[in-house]
Structure 1
Amino acid sequence: MAANDQAYVVIQVVLKEKVFGTGSGNLTELEKAINAQAALGYRLHTITTASSGSKGIVGGDRVQATLVFERL
């Protein structure tokens, strides 16, 4: 997690597609990352995503979310 003296923090979270159906199977990981930084006094400044195109053991694409947080 971020040290409180940094103006910006960058974190990457990998979102995994559900095995069955559509959507992300681990949005709680993204939520935890955002809430952890908010608790340290940071707000989400920018979020970008990129599809890795790789498949997991049981299938499903991976999407890499890059989050930039700014100290309040």
Structure 2
Amino acid sequence: MQIVLREKFVGKGSKNFKEIEDLCNQQFAEGYRLHTFAQSTAGSTGFFGGDRTVCNLVFERIAD
């Protein structure tokens, strides 16, 4: 699964970081665990600029 974190317009940090937490909690509730987490950062040429952080999460089913 992939989530793109966007910078806050004012201040530091990501304005949608909670999406990662919510996604993980949903997957954990369905019997998965986080196997791999990777991130990369790319510059943005949009109206407000700023970097975008792309987070890739790989989950695996926990054996019963």
- On whether the aligned pair clears a TM of 0.5, the verdict is yes
Return the match for 2:36 from 30, 37, 46: 46
Q: Evaluate the alpha carbon distance shift between residue 55 and residue 24 of structure 1 in structure 2; reply closer, same or farther with a 3 A threshold.
A: farther
Percent identical pairs in the alignment equals 52
Gaps of 5+ in 1: 1-10
Q: Which letter does structure 1 place at the counterpart of 2:3?
A: V
- Check the 8 A contact 2:3/2:19 in 1, yes or no: yes
- Check the 8 A contact 1:16/1:61 in 2, yes or no: yes
Q: Evaluate the alpha carbon distance shift between residue 56 and residue 32 of structure 1 in structure 2; reply closer, same or farther with a 3 A threshold.
A: farther
Gaps of 5+ in 2: none
Distance 1:46 1:60 in 2: 26
Matched residue of 2:60: which SS?
strand
Let me know the Cα RMSD of the aligned residues: 1.4
Return the match for 1:65 from 26, 30, 55: 55
TM-score (norm 1): 0.74
Matched residue count: 62
- Check the 8 A contact 1:34/1:44 in 2, yes or no: yes
Shift of 1:63: 0.5
Distance 1:36 1:55 in 2: 33
TM-score (norm 2): 0.82
